[in-house]
Amino acid sequence: MATGGSDSGDTRSDLSGNAGDVVQARDVTGGIHFHTSPGPGGMVPRQLPGDVHGFVNRTADLDGLDAALVSEDGQGTAAAVCVIAGTAGVGKTSLAVHWAHRHRALFPDGQLYINLHGYDPGDPVEAGQALTRFLIALGVEPSAVPVEVEERSALYRTLLAERRMLVVLDNAAAVGQVRPLLPGADGCLVLVTSRSRLSGLVARDGAHRATLEVFPEAEAVHLLQATTVPYRTGDSDEEVVELARLCARLPLALRIAAERAAARPRMPLSELIRDLQDESSLWEALSSQDDDEADAVRTVFAWSYRALPPAAARMFQLLGLYPGATFTPHAAAALAAVPLRQAQRDLDALAGAHLLEHSDQERYQFHDLLRAYAQDQAAHLEELQDRRDALLRISNWYLQCMVAVRNHLNTSDLGRAWGIAIDVPVTNPLKSFSDAVEASAWFDRESGNLVATAKAAANAGLDTITVQLLAAMWVPFGERNPTGAWLPLGRIALNSASRLGDLHAVCMALLGQGITLRLAHRIDESIAVHLEALETAISAGSAAQKAAALTTLGHAYSNGRRLREAQECYEQLIAAISQPDRSWSDAARSGLVSVLWESGLLVEAETLCNDVIRDSETNLTTRTEVLLRLALVKSESGRAEEALGHIAEANNLLWHVHSGNLVRWAGVCHGWVLLAAGQPEDALAVLQPVAAASRQLRDQIREVFAVDAAGQAYLALGRLDEAVRFHRVAETLCQDLHDRWRHAVILDHLAIALSALGQGAAATEAWTESREMLTGFNDARAQRLRAKVDATLAAP
């Protein structure tokens, strides 16, 4: 029977691996075979922003894109990548989105869109972040997104293979933001907008480039007239031409100017033009650019901004302090400390003046040039303390929302269990949630803004709110992002907690980092961080945090097969006279059962299992985990029927536990028990869905167990070639885990299959490598395996 530790008690699964082969069963006699996974099905993303209202002109540019990108039969695409390049404000995004809407029928499998914010004052969206969003939109579970960017890109290409999709990458600053997002499929088209020419995409990837110029005079005049004619009369052609010239014929500036003219139908256009001309002398340069187009855009911004009502003008400049990319009226109200209805009126006024973009039914965003202008206005017109207060208000609002999210997602006891208070008074305007589904959806939409807010708060020295906000985010963020994504945020939390001198907060941050490192298979680092967390908890005098640190340190030791140290951690906690939280006691008892079984101490493991199961206060998750361990103990002791009975009992409890990790672990245990009972065909039927689900969810540990156990089943059935193939796949998968014990066990299984196949030399090589892997392991089970391998290698 295969052996190896379970991570069934983890807060989330250990995830890693590449897209590729998955195990699939047709029927038991036909066996399990490998094929390329088509990925999650049924997901047809429709992410294009709404078509541009009142789109005019650009007929020649649209025709040029049609000629370059649409195939001659009009049924597909002629080019795989197109770069729409041009200066800021020239209308690149409007053109790309309008063209995309005109040709949606060419892409029946969906459209993906992301604003890469390559030229925003804040941080651009990295390729890895964009891949995560796209993979989730394509149906990948957030926790199943691979850790490495290369692996995410490979999975993304796999999911787009054989699909006809449009991908719009807006505001890219560099080729590095784009290249990992390029599909490999011929039926897909990527539209990229950028101020840069992105020559690398043209040279290396064969991209078509369309350079967008400012409007010719006639088209600029047409845009102004199309917007103003319904509201104004009597404007001379000469005045309209002059207004177009002052706007440098840039669509962004033209729309802002036209909107102001339309909003003042009784003011002569000549007077508006004089105002705009006078504005240029008042304007201070926003950047080091020195050209007519940049000057014109900046002048139009200032001209329009100064005409705003006072409340809308202040909202505009305060929004320059907002840390995220998009915002809702609720967030704007919190930032500006105004009632929600007032915030909505201000946002509508700004959107009406084209100083904001209304991205969907309740979200707004800046054009990057306008955001830079708003930031400049805030820096000049808001006192330092006022800017700090605004950031504190939005940070507090997000924290209040996270408290509500946390309550709906059943993580409200996390702060209490870890010994840190993260509850805050709830004030208006709080975004309320009716249920967990709504709360979860809000967190998914706001995740990027939450991260940006936490970073901004930390940079401003608002350490208390930073620690509390990150503490509230930890669980839902970890469930929705690749393993390891928390590490940079955890460092922010740790730095803020350290500056505060708050040992409880420091311990909490260390615990989060230690758990994340363990889930990322960086075991030595995890142990070091957990030891620091334990020392900090003792210094802080926190019994709850000491219990948490002992438990999670035990898990880290166990994952590194330092079983004696793990056992000491669990026993120290179990023996504590005053138990601060029963959940930690249950986790420690479950961990101790696992360690005893892993160590080969079957009698001791069975005794503890029975004690835990008899305890009426044991929670269902722990009871299920211990029943599975008891099944393995009895299976290894030759009591197959009793073992199967415990498996059945555990499966019944799984209906109430709702843990995918535990369901997959139960499947592995069931497969092992069936193998020990001499039922390899039944074992294959159980292991197949475990392997498939584990591969889809990037649960590589349980995938390794299932694939390796399938190899043992094929060996028992006499299908030796398949046994060798499955063990080799398991060995390859195991290499990413950096787990020498699991690797040694799999090599032993591989050697047995190779020997049965008559490949003695290869079997000897595998056993030799297995023996080398076993160096340093001194528990009873490892000693038995080493003795067996030594005896086999010594035999003639």
Q: In whole angstroms, what is the distance from residue 164 CA to residue 109 CA? A: 5
Q: How far apart are the first and last CA of the chain?
A: 26
**Same domain for 190 and 276:** no
Spans of the chain below 70 pLDDT? 1-43, 54, 72-79, 278-296, 360-361, 410-430, 577-583
Q: What is the pLDDT of residue 421?
A: 56
Domain assignment present for 764: no
**Same domain for 295 and 232:** yes
**Same domain for 68 and 196:** yes
Domain assignment present for 774: no
Domain assignment present for 314: no
Map tokens 């250990």 to a residue. Answer: 14
Q: What is the pLDDT of residue 737?
A: 83
In sequence order, the 6+-apart residues with CB closer than 8 A to the CB of 480 are: 136, 142, 143, 443, 444, 447
Q: How far is CA 703 from the centre of its chain?
A: 22
Q: What is the pLDDT of residue 691?
A: 92
Q: In whole angstroms, what is the distance from residue 696 CA to residue 703 CA? A: 10
Angle, nearest 10°, between helix axes 563-574 and 543-559?
A: 160
Q: In the chain, how many domains are there? A: 3
Q: What is the pLDDT of residue 577?
A: 55
Domain assignment present for 412: yes
Count of C-beta atoms within a 10 Å radius of residue 572: 15
Q: In whole angstroms, what is the distance from residue 709 CA to residue 694 CA? A: 14
Reading the block at residue 671, the tokens are 């497969």
How far lies 316's CA from each of 9, 332, 372, 375, in Å? Answer: 49, 10, 11, 9
Cross-sheet strand order for the sheet of 326-327: 326-327, 364-365, 357-358
Reading the block at residue 625, the tokens are 């985990």
Cross-sheet strand order for the sheet of 81-85: 111-115, 166-170, 189-194, 81-85, 208-211
**Same domain for 439 and 494:** yes
Domain assignment present for 313: no
**Same domain for 421 and 435:** yes
Q: What is the pLDDT of residue 288?
A: 36
Domain assignment present for 296: yes
Please answer whether residues 591 and 551 qualify as being in contact, where contact means their C-beta atoms are separated by less than 8 angstroms: yes
What's 149's domain CATH number?
A: 3.40.50.300
Q: Write out the residue range of the structural domain in which residue 504 sits.
A: 340-348+374-537
Please answer whether residues 735 and 698 qualify as being in contact, where contact means their C-beta atoms are separated by less than 8 angstroms: no
Q: In whole angstroms, what is the distance from residue 530 CA to residue 517 CA? A: 10
Q: Provide the H-helix boundaries in 615-739.
A: 620-636, 640-657, 660-676, 680-696, 700-716, 720-735
Q: In whole angstroms, what is the distance from residue 453 CA to residue 688 CA? A: 44
The amino acid that residue 149 corresponds to is V
**Same domain for 196 and 248:** no
Q: In whole angstroms, what is the distance from residue 533 CA to residue 526 CA? A: 10
Please answer whether residues 474 and 486 qualify as being in contact, where contact means their C-beta atoms are separated by less than 8 angstroms: yes
Among 166, 196, 211, residue at a domain's last position: 211
Q: Give tens-digit pLDDT for 761-781.
A: 999 999 999 999 999 898 899
Please answer whether residues 471 and 493 qualify as being in contact, where contact means their C-beta atoms are separated by less than 8 angstroms: yes
Please answer whether residues 711 and 754 qualify as being in contact, where contact means their C-beta atoms are separated by less than 8 angstroms: no
Q: How many helices (H) and strands (E) does the chain have?
A: 35, 10
**Same domain for 230 and 200:** no
Domain assignment present for 500: yes
Among 166, 182, 211, residue at a domain's last position: 211
Please answer whether residues 676 and 644 qualify as being in contact, where contact means their C-beta atoms are separated by less than 8 angstroms: no
Q: What is the pLDDT of residue 283?
A: 44
Please answer whether residues 666 and 651 qualify as being in contact, where contact means their C-beta atoms are separated by less than 8 angstroms: yes
Cross-strand partners of 299: none
Q: What is the pLDDT of residue 303?
A: 78
**Same domain for 221 and 190:** no
Secondary structure of 684-709 in HEC code, one letter for each residue? HHHHHHHHHHHHHCCCHHHHHHHHHH
**Same domain for 206 and 65:** yes
* Dihedral of alpha carbons 357, 363, 366, 368, sign: negative
How far lies 140's CA from each of 144, 259, 362, 723, in Å? Answer: 6, 43, 26, 30
**Same domain for 150 and 202:** yes
Which letter does DSSP use for residue 678 in this model?
T
Q: What is the pLDDT of residue 430?
A: 64
Domain assignment present for 753: no
The amino acid that residue 663 corresponds to is V
Nearest Cα to 709, choosing from 695, 690, 693? 690
Cross-strand partners of 192: 83, 169
Q: What is the pLDDT of residue 31?
A: 40
Q: What is the pLDDT of residue 42?
A: 54
Q: Provide the H-helix boundaries in 103-198.
A: 127-137, 149-160, 175-178
Reading the block at residue 724, the tokens are 């060798």
Nearest Cα to 298, choosing from 88, 129, 143? 88
Among 473, 506, 537, residue at a domain's last position: 537
**Same domain for 257 and 203:** no
Q: What is the pLDDT of residue 525?
A: 95
Q: What is the pLDDT of residue 333?
A: 94
**Same domain for 257 and 178:** no
Q: Give tens-digit pLDDT for 294-352.
A: 666 778 888 788 888 899 999 999 999 999 989 999 999 999 999 999 999 999 989 88
The amino acid that residue 280 corresponds to is S
